Structure formats: C-alpha cells, structure tokens
Amino acid sequence: MVIGQGLAGTVLSLMLESDGKSVLVADTPELNHCSTVAAGLLNPITGKRQTLAWKASEFFPFASEFYKAAEGLLEHRFFYPMPVKRVLSSVGELNTWSSRVEEQPFSDFISTPAFCKNPEGIVSTNGCLSIESGGWVDFPEFILRTREHFSSKKAFINLKINWTDITQTQDGFGFGENTFSKIIFSNGWPADPIWNFLPFTPMKGEIITIETEYDFSDILVGSCFVLPVCTNTIKAGATYDWRNINTEITPAAREELLNKTDSFIAGNKTVVNQQAGIRPSVRDRRPLLGEHPEIDHLYLFNGLGSKGSSTAPLLAKWLIDFIYHDQSLIPEVDLKRFK
Ligand SMILES: Cc1cc2nc3c(=O)[nH]c(=O)nc-3n(C[C@H](O)[C@H](O)[C@H](O)COP(=O)(O)OP(=O)(O)OC[C@H]3O[C@@H](n4cnc5c(N)ncnc54)[C@H](O)[C@@H]3O)c2cc1C
C-alpha cells in the first residue's frame, strides 16, 4: 500500500505497477499537498550561485523519459519540455557564463548557441543564457489522471491513514479487511509520527499567478522564475520561509514576488492568484528513502524538498530496486544516515 498521492506517491505507484506489483493507493485531499501548488519546474541550473543541480546528469534524462512514458500510459498531456532562459542581469554575469559554457558538466546542459537575445518584455540588455533539459510538469493534471487510473482498477481509496490505523500481522500489515506485504509512506509534510526520528525541516513556499502585458513562450529565470501558463499569464515563484509553517497566503510574499518579477519583466502586471504550500525538506537537503529501522517492510519515500519534479522518478526507481531487487540505496538518500 502507498500512503499519500502527491507527486511522490504518484510517481512511485505508477512505477510499482510497471514493475508488476499490485498497488493500493491512499490519499486524502484535506491535508497539505504542496504538489498541487508547485510550478513543477525542471531547471538543471539553479540557485543564487547558479550551480548545476545535484546529480543532474542522472536525474534529468531519467525524469524526461519517465514523464513521456507516463503520458502514453495515462493518455493525457502533462509534461512540457521547453528551454529555460536565464536572464543575464549584468555584464559580469555574461562574462562568468561566457567562460563556463564550454566547461563540463555545465556544457551538457547549455544549448548551442549558448546565448540568445532577450524575448520582448525583458528589462535587461545583456541577453539570456539558453539552458537545455528544462520544462515543467503539470502536477495537478498528472496526479488527477493517475488517481483516475488507479480508481478505475479499484486500487485507490480516498482516506487518511495513520500508522496507528494499521495492524502488524504475521505476513505483513492489515488495514480493515485488506492485508499488505509492504507499506510505503509517501505523504510529504507532516510525515507520520512513526518517522519522527528523522530531521524534517519543512519549508513554506508561496507562488503568484500574474497577467502580463507580454506573452512569453519560455521559462525565464531572473531574480525569481517565471513560467508561462497561458496567453499573457505567468506563474512567478517561489518564496522560502522556514519560520511560518502554515498554508496561509501573505501580502509580504506577494510583494516580494512582484518586486522580483518587476526587476526583469517589463510592463503592468495584475496578480490573479496566490497559493502557498509546505515543502517536505530535510536538514541536509537530500531525500529520505528506505526502511524503518525497527519495523520490517515499512518504507518511506519523502524529503523531495524543492526539486521533486526532476528527482522523483529516479528516486522511486532506486527505492523499488532496494525493496524488491536487492539493490542498496546510496548513502546520501538512505534514511539510515540519521539513525
Ligand atoms: C510554492 C511552491 C513551489 C514549488 N515549485 C516547485 C517546482 O517548480 N519544481 C519542483 O520540482 N518542486 C517544486 N516545489 C516542491 C514540490 O512541490 C515538492 O517537491 C513535491 O510536490 C513533494 O511531493 P510529495 O508527494 O512528497 O508531498 P505532497 O505534495 O505534500 O503530497 C503528500 C500527499 O499525501 C497526502 N497525505 C498526507 N498524509 C496522509 C495520510 N495520513 N493518509 C493519506 N494521505 C495523506 C496529502 O494529502 C498529499 O496529497 C514547490 C513547492 C512549493 C510549496
């Protein structure tokens, strides 16, 4: 049984099914589900220091293949590969990238030609860096279609399930009339108290949807990211707040994101939506995968933090290989590192 069907549970359940396993998926919509708030961006070069994402060469190609295959299975579109354009805010930034674009491992993620003119509506005059392997996943659509898929096989239940609702039997676990050989918690933040020994550091994030004067066709990254969602409409995000762990939207976050957007996108803007969610982040910013140290066959797939779209598919494969195919987890993702 997979408990929690945000992005983590969605990817994991589909992969378990394609590995020939029979799965029951449980989820309840009332709880925090940051997957339905997230922009779903895949961007291999991120952060203030513009570094290559952790294990980008492994995660990005695998994620892209996985989402394409999932679209085929579910017969719906939710994966949108597209260039990511880094708006170069200064001549210094342009010079830094001019010397970096030929260097490994950056060169694998930079388009040819590496630099392009700004799209109309961009304030800076230094052009953009073109980044490959980017795009976005429409998480709500992906989650909904996967839920329909499992519902049509009577393999989805709309229920909140806690560890205390489950009984341990000789062969595994019992819940109501059902028995399971294995249980995997993939319920984001807050995790079930049975996992309380792990150092989750939840991180609130807010995102705004804005109507703009200009119509963009690429993902743009300046002092924040901007994702075109439909004609003259973009999503801009996201904030990071580790102090106020709640899902309230705030005027401060709206102002911060509008100011950041104004710093590189020209013209009038109207905020038409604002959302907040809590990322399941971990103290060392690495995912949490593996088996409970005291309960056999009880597993965790969590800690996707702010990068779930690119990492979830390969992480799910690693967890399945660990559970069913006798493969070890790499220490950086294995929850045993916190025992
Ligand atoms: C504002 C914002 C922007 C973001 N943008 C991006 C982005 O651009 N790219 C990116 O990769 N990531 C982004 N993220 C991070 C991304 O959202 C997460 O990495 C990912 O969605 C985590 O997925 P999850 O399934 O682990 O958790 P969740 O999405 O929280 O899903 C957990 C699910 O489990 C269910 N659940 C919980 N407890 C129970 C229970 N007891 N029984 C049954 N069901 C239960 C919940 O209802 C929920 O559906 C963003 C996050 C935020 C907040």
Query: Ligand 1 centre and the CA of 186: distance in Å?
Result: 9
Assess if CATH 2.70.98.10 describes domain 84-131+203-279: no
Q: In whole angstroms, what separates CA 102 from the centre of its chain?
A: 29
Give me the pLDDT at residue 125, please: 84
Residue 89 burial (CB < 10 Å; 0-12/13-18/19+)? middle
pLDDT per residue of the chain (339 residues) written in tens, 0 to 9: 999 999 999 999 999 999 999 999 999 977 778 999 999 999 999 877 788 999 999 999 999 999 999 999 999 999 999 989 999 988 988 998 998 898 888 899 999 899 999 999 999 889 999 999 999 999 999 999 999 999 999 999 999 999 999 999 988 999 988 999 999 999 999 999 999 999 999 999 999 999 999 999 999 999 999 999 999 999 999 999 999 999 999 999 999 999 999 999 999 999 999 999 999 999 999 999 999 999 999 999 999 999 999 999 999 999 999 999 999 999 999 999 997
pLDDT at position 65 is: 98
CB distance 280 to ligand 1 below 6 Å = yes
Delimit the domains of the chain by residue range.
2-38+139-199+283-338, 84-131+203-279
Tell me what pLDDT residue 47 has.
76
Ligand 1 touching residue 184 (CB < 6 A): no
**Ligand 1 neighbourhood includes 312 CB (under 6 angstroms):** no
* Mutational pocket test of ligand 1: of 12, 35, 156, 275, the residue with most ligand atoms within 8 Å of the beta carbon: 35
Strand partners, 136: 41, 80
Q: Roughly how many angstroms between the first and final C-alpha of the chain, as a whole number?
A: 25
Residue 8 Cβ contacting ligand 1 at under 6 Å: yes
Q: How far apart are CA 159 and CA 1, in angstroms?
A: 12
Closest residue by CA, ligand 1 atom 19: 308
Ligand 1 touching residue 239 (CB < 6 A):
no
> Is the bond preceding 29 in cis, omega lying within 30 degrees of 0?
no
Q: Is the CB of 146 under 6 A from ligand 1?
A: no
Spatial distance between the Cα atoms of 74 and 39, rounded to a whole number of angstroms? 21
**pLDDT, tens digit, for every residue of 139-149?**
999 999 999 99
308 lines ligand 1 (CB under 6 A): yes
Which residue's CA is minimally distant from atom 30 of ligand 1? 33
DSSP string covering 257-314: HHHHHHTTB-S-EEEEEEEEEEE--BTTS--EEEE-SSSTTEEEEE--TT-HHHHHHH
| CATH 3.50.50.60 corresponds to the domain 2-38+139-199+283-338 | yes
227 Cα–ligand 1 center, Å: 19
Select from 315, 104, 68, 337 the least CA-distant residue to 199.
337
Ligand 1 atom at minimum distance from 239 CA: 1
The one-character DSSP state at 316 is: H
